[in-house]
Amino acid sequence: MSKTLRPLSLLLLLALLAGCGFHPRGQTTRLDRLPQPLALTGIQPYSDLGLALREELRAAGVALTDDAQQAAAVLQISDARSDSRVLSLDSRNRAAEYELAESLRFSLRRPGQGAMVEPQLVRVIRTLYKPADQVLGRSREEEALRESMRRELAQKIIRRLAAQY
């Protein structure tokens, strides 16, 4: 009895786990219910943000097209901004810490119809410590941090789209 009960209970447990929406960490959100193909407009396709967003959309199972007229839906990006401001100064009154911000607005609409997802603001903020004596490392660290922030922006957009579809 226990030999058949154990695999059966394991199968039942796995079915319950799959049914609750659990996903292992690192697994991307799927956007299978989104109208496809999807056109991405409002940003340069080969900009850092454009490349990150296209990569994340493809990983989420979205078919992309460059022609907005042929697309079933259009993801419109607007007001993409990269900002920074000084947070703290060192003993010599030089900037030592910065707040970096990446933000954008996005909306989803069908061509010739109304908006499927109203415009929404997405923002990512990070703190960057820049010691004055490490000039080369500072610029590389900022580039890497900005790239990570753009990828996070793209993931936030995907999560918000998934929550509404």
Residue 71 is predicted with a pLDDT of: 92
Q: Which of 49, 147, 127 is nearest to 84 (CA)?
A: 127
Q: In DSSP terms, which residues pair with 105 in a beta bridge?
A: 78, 121
The residue-averaged pLDDT of 102-107 equals 96
| Domains, the chain | 2-164 (3.30.160.150)
Task: Indicate the pTM of the whole model.
Answer: 0.76
As given in the structure block, the two tokens for residue 40 are 């991405």
Question: Is the pLDDT reported for residue 74 higher than 90?
Answer: yes
pLDDT per position as a tens digit, 19-56: 666 555 555 577 778 888 999 999 998 999 999 999 99
Residues with Cβ within 8 Å of residue 137, at least 6 apart in sequence: none
Looking at per-residue pLDDT, the higher value among 90 and 25 belongs to 90
At residue 145, does pLDDT exceed 70?
yes
Cβ atoms of 15 and 117 within 8 Å: the answer is no
Q: b vs e for 54-93, b when ≥16 Cβ sit within 10 Å of the residue's Cβ?
A: bebbebbebebeeeeeebebbbbbeebeeeeeeeeeeeee
Q: In this predicted model, which residue has the larger pLDDT, 2 or 162?
A: 162
Does 136 score more than 80 pLDDT? no
